[in-house]
Structure 1
Amino acid sequence: MSERLVVIGGDATGMAAASQARRLKGAGELEIVVFERGHFASYSACGIPYWVGGAVRERDDLIARTPEEHRERDIDLRFGHQVLELDPAGHRVLVRDDGGTESWTGYDKLVIATGARPVRPPLPGIDAPGVHGVQTLDDGQELIDTLTGQESGAAVVIGAGYIGVEMAEALIQRGYRVTMLHRGAEPMSTLDPDMGALVRKAMDGMGITVVGDAEVTAIRTGADGRVRAVGTADGEYPADVVVLGLGVRPATELAAAAGLPLGEEGGLLTDLAMRVRGHTDIWAGGDCVEVLDLVSGRLRHIALGTHANKHGQIIGTGVGGGYATFPGVVGTAVSKVCALEVARTGLREADATAAGLQFVSVTIESTSRAGYYPDATPMTVKMLAERRTGRLLGTQIVGQEGAGKRVDIAAVALTARMTVEQMTTLDLGYAPPYSPVWDPVLVAARKAVAAVRAAGW
């Protein structure tokens, strides 16, 4: 007799889990039902800003596998179906279909892949037409419809994280005058403030007005009810469109109501096999879970498609009777705004202090290529190392072409728990079109070694 797998959420984790489970179990052994409340599945949410900005021409270019392809593999993918309640004791979920009918569906195994929700503060006017969060393809389509229906004018981006800076670029590409409002002293709070200052300076040079220490108080609307400005404690900024880039929170309301375990940041807690703690027949992954930070040893909520897809593969393997685990992350992320590339991995200074680590930090200036080679561009690398051991703790990079992906060197070193001295002997590829003789990351490592020795260890 076949078992039934129910998956809540049809994006990266959910469909990867369903597909991997199907590879291991035939339709006669495992029935797979996926409930997706939206209208799209298996898409790249990370690509939405580039679709909005025009670098990606068609919405369907972001879809990795069509619904028809999933259904041909005997995966029952149901759009417009929202799960309203979980009943772990009864092994069932309450679902409302697109016609409004509610019914219970039983399961033998359950995957929770509900993702995350954009932070939407309870401000006056926050739900006015022209105010957009950007998390799903449906969100992206609504924003494009708004932009297509009006001439380029003034745009305000609230928040200066990854989504914020990427959407600022998208709006610049569409010809809007862009103002970015954020609460911190510098944009990109995932960086240390000194590195965030480099991002602000570069964005100013692109024509983006960056306003720090801005406390948004209201979204102002016109006589037609549409957004016309964003009010702050210090002034008002005209806006024909507003994009929210305030980050996301785990979408775990259903899990919380069902009594499933949540962490300090609101994400579901799982074991290494991505099973929800205390439940052998429920798995969870993607943006709705917390994962182990391999550098600090703490649990963190990190919403990235790279992790979500890996979680899905691991979950599908477990559901299908195999064995796989997810050991944790080092917190690697790369972004860009126009020509500027921004990357980080590991801990910031504030993270290291919160974890009780003593550290040294160094910053170096270098170039993307040999200085004599044409089109070499400047690059700034900041590196943190543990004071007592010299273990690498984190790296941040801001520069132009060739800067961002260099952070992968540090990501591998962090995963391997290398010291900065060990990093200096890495045999990296070299040719003048690609790097100086000493790669900028290794220059930073050398300087970090000197700082560790100067600290007396």
Structure 2
Amino acid sequence: MAAAERMVVIGGDATGMSAAAQARRLKEPGELEIVAFERGRFSSYSACGIPYWVSGAVPERDELIARSPEEHRSRGIDLRMRTEAVELDVDGQRVRVREQEGTEQWVGYDQLVLATGAVPVRPPLPGIDAEGVYGVQTLDDGQELLDGLERGVEAAGGGSGRRRAVVVGAGYIGVEMAEAFVQRGYEVTVLEKAEQPMSTLDPDMGKLVHEAMCSLGIETVLGAAVTEVLTDNQGRARAVATQDAEYPADVVVLGLGVRPATALAREAGLPLGESGGLLTDLSMRVRGQENIWSGGDCVEVLNLVSGRPQHVPLGTHANKHGQIIGANIGGSYATFPGVVGTAVSKVCDLEIARTGLLEAQATAVGLRFASVVIESTTRAGYYPGTRPIHVKMLAEHRSGRLLGVQIVGRENAGKRVDIAAVALHAGMTVEQMTALDLGYAPPFSPVWDPVLVAARKAAAAVRTH
């Protein structure tokens, strides 16, 4: 009887364990041995839920864990925790791993899955590594942050005094962490070096987010490039400095985005894109390799609207990548065609969403377009609880093809972006969108849904060009 093929997985979260689980469904242990390495303490968890755990909306850490290491092992996956991959030998088909206590060994593979994720951007500034400064990407990061907050409360004698949080960066991570600290009763300052928050939106839509954040009591300082984290005589963060001012802080959170964690791949000579993410084919196989696969936050994917590769670190894609990799290793067949760039978030009761291209992205790839903005309401205007919503839509000149949508509004605004995401996948024009048969009742929408109002205005705009 032939020896079992060995699948080695580096990374025990969404992509890695989805790949392992899917491959195990398709092949028995006698056919495929699966060994996975995770350098942290947790497996298969929702990193997207960390801000809501920090805020207290999710009361228990374990509610974010979909499957524990013990559960994976019971299903025939040899998952080894607190074990880091430190070197990859592509020619020898082996990985050198280091356990927590420092013991190292080489592990051979027949199939390798690189699911190393992403790491928070941490600029080389004075004081950036001080106690009280946190990046929030993994469950371990979230636990470290909460443990640090608890120590701070104890040091302050129970936490009855004023508590101040400074969030550096006003992207998705930044605004979600700002909300988390508002919910915890902190005075929150957000420092953003750009002229508007949310660089994932066009400036006019980002301005709406800025106005809303200020109205929520979140001091949002724009054009504020951080120069230093100031520390006290015990080496703990006490303030964040910009060129113009200092902002006192009991805790500092970095919300500057993430970059692909691909140092291992880079040192092994595997192909990387402009963002530093691994390059793969449609089957999620690393380009130029027969038996190395990758997915999740450490890869670049194709943007179906622009036709350009892009780093899109989202759990939705990571889980899909894992399913595809596992299917292919398990003897089936699956592909990942690309993304349209859909994302949704919120800060307190403000919902923020986008899909497709921004104006700058459309211009960068040579597209000519019309852009329109409409203001409407989330429900029929006369229905109790209706809230304002702004929708921006981009459409290509002449063809009228939908290029992108951005939404900023209150309750029930954000998920409307899914209408546009489906339209983008289908290659619809804005004229075609105006005929969409969407659900209507006064508690849910005006008779003309705001997305369709924007489509009508965009259709008229492209007809005049």
TM-score range, shorter chain: over 0.9
Q: How does 1:226-305 map to 2 (within 5 A)?
A: 226-305=236-315
Say yes or no: does 1:87 pair with 2:97.
no
The equivalent of 1:65 in structure 2 is 67
The equivalent of 1:172 in structure 2 is 182
Deviations 1:228-262 (A, max 9, x none): 00010111000010000000000001101000000
Structure 2 residue corresponding to 1:21, chosen from 20, 23, 39: 23
How far apart are the structure 2 equivalents of 1:139 and 1:229?
Answer: 21
How far apart are the structure 2 equivalents of 1:31 and 1:191?
Answer: 45
What are the ranges of 5 or more consecutive residues in structure 1 without an aligned counterpart? Answer: none
Deviations 1:32-85 (A, max 9, x none): 010000000000000000000000010000001121111111100111100000
Structure 1 residue identity aligned to 2:204: D
Structure 1 residue corresponding to 2:164, chosen from 150, 154, 158: 154
Structure 2 residue identity aligned to 1:356: G
What are the ranges of 5 or more consecutive residues in structure 2 without an aligned counterpart? Answer: 154-158
Structure 1 residue identity aligned to 2:345: S
How far apart are the structure 2 equivalents of 1:442 and 1:225?
Answer: 55
Deviations 1:186-213 (A, max 9, x none): 1000000100010011110111000011
The equivalent of 1:222 in structure 2 is 232
Structure 2 residue corresponding to 1:373, chosen from 383, 386, 392: 383
CA positional deviation for 1:164: 0.2
How far apart are the structure 1 equivalents of 2:250 and 2:304?
Answer: 43
CA positional deviation for 1:412: 0.2
Say yes or no: does 1:190 pair with 2:192.
no
Structure 1 residue identity aligned to 2:279: L
Structure 1 residue identity aligned to 2:249: A
The equivalent of 2:331 in structure 1 is 321
The equivalent of 1:38 in structure 2 is 40
How far apart are the structure 2 equivalents of 1:117 and 1:142?
Answer: 15
Structure 2 residue corresponding to 1:11, chosen from 10, 13, 20: 13
Give the RMSD, CA atoms, in angstroms.
Answer: 0.6
Structure 2 residue corresponding to 1:386, chosen from 396, 415, 422: 396
Deviations 1:283-312 (A, max 9, x none): 000000000000000000000000000000
Structure 2 residue corresponding to 1:102, chosen from 96, 101, 104: 104
How far apart are the structure 2 equivalents of 1:161 and 1:224?
Answer: 31
Structure 1 residue identity aligned to 2:434: T
CA positional deviation for 1:400: 0.6
CA positional deviation for 1:146: 1.4
SS of aligned partner of 1:407: helix
CA positional deviation for 1:102: 1.0
How far apart are the structure 2 equivalents of 1:419 and 1:130?
Answer: 50
CA positional deviation for 1:388: 2.1
The equivalent of 1:53 in structure 2 is 55
Structure 2 residue corresponding to 1:205, chosen from 212, 215, 219: 215
The equivalent of 1:140 in structure 2 is 142
CA positional deviation for 1:402: 0.5
How far apart are the structure 2 equivalents of 1:78 and 1:206?
Answer: 44
How far apart are the structure 2 equivalents of 1:98 and 1:30?
Answer: 27
How far apart are the structure 2 equivalents of 1:122 and 1:387?
Answer: 44
How far apart are the structure 1 equivalents of 2:100 and 2:233?
Answer: 33
TM-score when scaled to structure 2?
0.97
Deviations 1:340-377 (A, max 9, x none): 00000000000000011000000000000000110100
Q: Equivalent pairs: percent with the same residue?
A: 74
The equivalent of 2:156 in structure 1 is none
How many residue pairs were aligned? 455
Q: How does 1:325-340 map to 2 (within 5 A)?
A: 325-340=335-350
CA positional deviation for 1:224: 1.2
Say if 2:300 and 2:310, in contact at 8 Å, map to a contact too. Answer: yes
How far apart are the structure 2 equivalents of 1:100 and 1:231?
Answer: 38
Say if 2:389 and 2:413, in contact at 8 Å, map to a contact too. Answer: yes
Structure 2 residue identity aligned to 1:362: V
How far apart are the structure 2 equivalents of 1:211 and 1:79?
Answer: 41
Say if 2:398 and 2:463, in contact at 8 Å, map to a contact too. Answer: no
Structure 1 residue identity aligned to 2:76: D
TM-score when scaled to structure 1?
0.99
The equivalent of 2:441 in structure 1 is 431
Structure 1 residue corresponding to 2:4, chosen from 2, 5, 24: 2
CA positional deviation for 1:454: 1.2
SS of aligned partner of 2:253: strand
The equivalent of 1:122 in structure 2 is 124
How far apart are the structure 2 equivalents of 1:280 and 1:404?
Answer: 41
SS of aligned partner of 1:218: strand
How far apart are the structure 2 equivalents of 1:209 and 1:36?
Answer: 38
